[in-house]
Structure 1
Amino acid sequence: MMKGVSFFVTVAILALASSLASAYDPSPLQDFCVAINDIKSGVFVNGKFCKDPAMVSANDFFFSGLNIPGNTGNKVGSNVTLVNVDKLAGLNTLGISLARLDFAPYGLNPPHTHPRGTELLVVIEGTLLVGFVTSNPNKLFTKVLNKGDVFVFPIGLIHFQFNIGETAALAFAGLSSQNPGVITIANAVFGSVPPINPDVLIKAFQLDKNVVEYLQKDI
């Protein structure tokens, strides 16, 4: 199983690597800039301070654990294990990150956006219904993906992945940013802190006040 997973992850990363010359993150000006939080240790680059190159080791470019399934025992039945610059310091300035996506049967990765990264998804196991919506007009592009299929979600557009099978599903995604960010639409709109004025949401979504108040309490 893991041999197959490694192959597909490699394919996803190599396919995404061809876009790095024009990645959304600024191009690096040095071989690497291992991120470190100590402000006394180096220069501030791409949101992080650079570790002294003399102190860098192979472990700064290493992450372990993507062979472990994520916990899908939640309301939406999915789990995303993101490996970004906060998890793998060596990614700093390299314009790329990776995620493992686990789905319970009929699990959903809800509509969301990555404001700083394009996503390239490869299905390892199961069957996923995926799609994204364009900005203007709001046109839906959707596709059913099976094992070995690949789909790309353009930067910043709302997209989703839904396991339409009766068994668990697994996918990996490469993203064209060291820290692509994620805005889950329902959480952002109904679960912001502090909350958005209910009158705004009532008018925007044409919902009853009680429904809006319920959603704001439940998310």
Structure 2
Amino acid sequence: MPPEPTRTRTRLSADERRRQLIGIGLRLLVDRPIHELSIDEVAAEAGISRGLLFRYFPTKRDYYYAVVEAAGRRLLKHAKAPETGTSQERVRGIVTGFVSFVQRRRTNYVALVRVAAGGDPLVLKVFEGHRRTIAERVLAAAEQERPTALTSLAVRGWLAMAEEMAVESTEEVVPAEELIDFLVVNLDRVLDLSRATAG
């Protein structure tokens, strides 16, 4: 029998290796919450030693933070307004992306939110930053160029409600389109009320 061909391991740059390891973490998040990610499993899938993984991420917490941050960037990629359209169409684009992202990744999203709620400062910082970005996108899409403090706070409250409803609803409970309609209309009312109160 002819000898088996030798496999050559591709040498990756530091940035490529970090991206590979984060990508593996994001893939594994599909099946399990962040705190159940095994560093040994991640290293084995990447074809490197556990010790080498820690050259790129000094601690397990640093690795988890990088994965959570990447997951947040994916959320922001989905929860964005279309470049054209009416104010309501642009808001609807954000809401549709947000709801579909949360519902497709419900278990993992809830696990990440609970980690943030548990007070881990790094994870909390990531979540707060992404929530703030989404709220700012909603305000911009709704043409609130100079929102008052009350309006900004009201939109943050609305976003918290949207998140809770997206997590709790299923097609059997409330179809996604119905939920999206409700959230878009509700935002209009929240903005009207905050303007009336401020006026």
TM above 0.5: no
Short-chain TM bin: under 0.3
Of Structure 1 and Structure 2, which has the larger fraction of its residues in strand? 1
TM-score by length of structure 2 reads: 0.26
**Which structure's CA Rg is the greater one?**
2
Of Structure 1 and Structure 2, which has the larger fraction of its residues in helix? 2
